[in-house]
Structure 1
């Protein structure tokens, strides 16, 4: 495949392109879902495609194909060049110069991926269901599952870069519904890792999903007001996902982020530090180089509350007069754009229990629902469920409430950060305590 990518670059230059890069992706996917002791769905699939980006007179053309035959590739090259000829030139439209040829030796591929049988994968899904059903009579299991993915990426460009890597992903999950007194609450819990042996045990996944649902039963009303709000790691990661959009260089350059003009300004609490680390071993978003061939690295995005960096691909970086940050992401059918890798809040030293004990009256959010976030203004309003806290202890469940504020206020008002950082995806956070937000009951 790397020779194929190189040959496409060569052909593109011969057909008139000034510069060219090629991105090839091959994904081998497996998934199994289980319900009521039966296999509900089973999927094994391989998808592949290649994208060709050409530069001509500072104009960009792009085409892709899932057909790797010579005829289809030749046609895609010609299409990309035709599009470039009819595009608008921009001064920043040039390929990145990849500095050096060293690539990170990052642990993202489990060599045992092909030794795990289909029967074993399905058995794990059955075990999760069994553990959940036996945990509490009030628990009904909506579905459990096992999935894994083998990713292969190949990149070559006319600046003499060529590289490839393989990565694996494994996930097990449990989705449950708890019922009592004619009321029901749903919950979900998953474990994701690059390596199979690093997944949480099936019984833990089942238990945590069950507990999350059970603790929301029999909710009570609260009085609308301004209260301290604790976000558990799952809900805090949702908050952080909006921050990752706000520090996306493309959004910032287009003035489509509330942080667009805040570089080097204080935009959060002094205890808040946010990293983006693309070379973390076992990281869900880790890779040796980004999708333009730029080596990944660990970067400080927010440091002690100060905004230090936007996430940049090469073209967006040129618009800022900066170097790319190794955050280019693309699929075979898209051109590169900035995206977070492993984006997370630096953990503190308090346990979640210690944080709860600090609160006289407030809310622990365990589930966020719906939309209601404007990245341009930072305005935030979402439905939520969780637990009401009184005198440092859980008092009762709350449901169908709304929490609202501005994202920058949320960042500025983080007063405690937990030590329980956990990655359910490539964006992760420990428990965080925001000193005050509007909490409204329906």
Structure 2
């Protein structure tokens, strides 16, 4: 690529000024990706993509507009800026929009300390194909597996640059290696499916294809003979694979956009107990070698480590500039954006306090109940937190797994059961969201 992302953002800002914008910010992303799918031991699909995407947000007074393109020619950049300014002049006024002032902007950062990019050549397609083939073979070798639906290996590298007319300019490069496998066990109407996968910044950190394939196969076989669960109130243990969704719902309710709209069951609970005592949710965008780490947010503010929940008490919101202004608060450097959209709040890496017991120990403690390993659908009332989801997993009798369960539904009040959950100690610490298995007493379960 002859023009780098940082130069592209400069060109976009220059074009915005010439077009009559009062202020602007620009983003450019240059990426390369490679994806290999294997089926029945043979190459099924291979895709390689390269491209550059550019985005420009312009402000004219208190009006704004965002535009994007994948053509980086000078004529396109000029036309893009002119179109954006014309759109902004027709947009409604918003008293809360605006770029960050100089005193809020990130001034320096150590991108090397975050270790977000592997300094190595792009992997050969043959190497990705062999990894996918090995995962498929390991899954197929599990007794009871009838077919492997997919085995895929992927690689992605992105250079990201952000600049604003207020004087901020910064960028970083991300790499992402991934491997996944989906296995099917059984025949006809009794077929069951499950999967496993891994994604890392560095290829050397990936779990082996053999382990990923084997686990996908074993999980599929374990689901054979599934039945509907009984109806009643039972303890439910959310496996580590799905437990993060519970914390995700909490983070969604703490999102400044939801709070500012009044569409959040947390809106009046700042400073109140939302988790059991002794439990924290810590946001840390500076964890090295983790995909969710960032040196600055999408508005150029320096990211930092902080507690969202401390000793069970909600201590703050997830805010970008505009929603912080709406709420009369300071921004928390949580702005995210794509090339074609304005900033909006979102969380970075988070970690929930882990417990002292293993998942198996919590199973023994629960006695009779449900172990949830997958969920489908979602009905959550954003104002009340009323919760209902379809689930599958395993029925537990006297602290031991009895048989597989599917076509179940769990329901309850999210604000209530979050305050009485018990964490295990099995969270995977390399993930962006580090959340262990979670035991919740007294959820309503519906099945047969």
- Fold shared by both chains (TM-score > 0.5): yes
Once the two structures are superposed, residues 368-409 of structure 1 have per-residue CA deviations (whole angstroms, 9 ceiling, x without a partner) of 112323333312111111111122211222111111112212
Identify the residue that residue 414 of structure 2 maps to in structure 1: 407
Q: Note if contact 2:254-2:264 (Cα within 8 Å) is conserved in structure 1.
A: yes
Match for residue 282 of structure 1 among 286, 289, 313: 289
Identify the residue that residue 369 of structure 1 maps to in structure 2: 376
- The RMSD of aligned alpha carbons is 1.9
Once the two structures are superposed, residues 254-300 of structure 1 have per-residue CA deviations (whole angstroms, 9 ceiling, x without a partner) of 11221122211112222432222222112221122222222222221
**Structure 2 residue 113 is the aligned partner of structure 1 residue 109:** no
Q: Distance in 2 between matches of 1:50 and 1:110?
A: 24
Identify the residue that residue 379 of structure 1 maps to in structure 2: 386
Q: Note if contact 2:407-2:447 (Cα within 8 Å) is conserved in structure 1.
A: yes
Shift of residue 303 of structure 1? Answer: 1.8
Q: Distance in 1 between matches of 2:145 and 2:289?
A: 36
Shift of residue 221 of structure 1? Answer: 4.5
Q: Distance in 1 between matches of 2:235 and 2:261?
A: 34
Q: Distance in 1 between matches of 2:36 and 2:268?
A: 46
Identify the residue that residue 425 of structure 2 maps to in structure 1: 419
Poorly superposed stretches of 4+, deviation over 4 Å: none
**Structure 2 residue 89 is the aligned partner of structure 1 residue 89:** no
Identify the residue that residue 32 of structure 2 maps to in structure 1: 28
Shift of residue 338 of structure 1? Answer: 1.0
Shift of residue 424 of structure 1? Answer: 8.7
Q: Distance in 2 between matches of 1:276 and 1:374?
A: 25
Shift of residue 423 of structure 1? Answer: 6.5
Identify the residue that residue 178 of structure 1 maps to in structure 2: 185
Identify the residue that residue 51 of structure 2 maps to in structure 1: 47
Segments of structure 1 that go 5 or more residues without pairing to the other structure are none
Identify the residue that residue 157 of structure 2 maps to in structure 1: 150
Identify the residue that residue 332 of structure 2 maps to in structure 1: 325
Q: Note if contact 2:229-2:406 (Cα within 8 Å) is conserved in structure 1.
A: no
Identify the residue that residue 389 of structure 1 maps to in structure 2: 396
Match for residue 72 of structure 1 among 65, 71, 76: 76
**Structure 2 residue 63 is the aligned partner of structure 1 residue 59:** yes
Identify the residue that residue 245 of structure 1 maps to in structure 2: 252
Q: Distance in 2 between matches of 1:181 and 1:314?
A: 54
Q: Distance in 2 between matches of 1:154 and 1:141?
A: 40
Q: Distance in 2 between matches of 1:401 and 1:439?
A: 7
SS of corresponding position for 1:332: coil
Once the two structures are superposed, residues 346-375 of structure 1 have per-residue CA deviations (whole angstroms, 9 ceiling, x without a partner) of 222221112112111111100111232333
Q: Note if contact 2:136-2:151 (Cα within 8 Å) is conserved in structure 1.
A: yes
Q: Distance in 1 between matches of 2:438 and 2:373?
A: 12
**Structure 2 residue 445 is the aligned partner of structure 1 residue 439:** yes
Shift of residue 428 of structure 1? Answer: 4.1
SS of corresponding position for 1:300: strand
**Structure 2 residue 139 is the aligned partner of structure 1 residue 132:** yes
Q: Distance in 1 between matches of 2:383 and 2:147?
A: 41
Q: Distance in 2 between matches of 1:20 and 1:70?
A: 18
Please give the residue correspondences for 1:333-348 in structure 2 after superposition, counting only pairs within 5 Å: 333-348=340-355
Deviates more, 1:165-174 or 1:26-35: 26-35
Deviates more, 1:126-135 or 1:324-333: 324-333
Segments of structure 2 that go 5 or more residues without pairing to the other structure are none
Question: TM-score of the superposition, structure 1-length normalised?
Answer: 0.94
Once the two structures are superposed, residues 87-115 of structure 1 have per-residue CA deviations (whole angstroms, 9 ceiling, x without a partner) of 2223322101343411243111011252x
Question: TM-score of the superposition, structure 2-length normalised?
Answer: 0.93
SS of corresponding position for 1:372: strand
Query: Aligned in 2, Cα 1:67/1:231: closer, same or farther, shift over 3 Å?
Result: same
Identify the residue that residue 209 of structure 1 maps to in structure 2: 216
Q: Note if contact 1:104-1:296 (Cα within 8 Å) is conserved in structure 2.
A: no
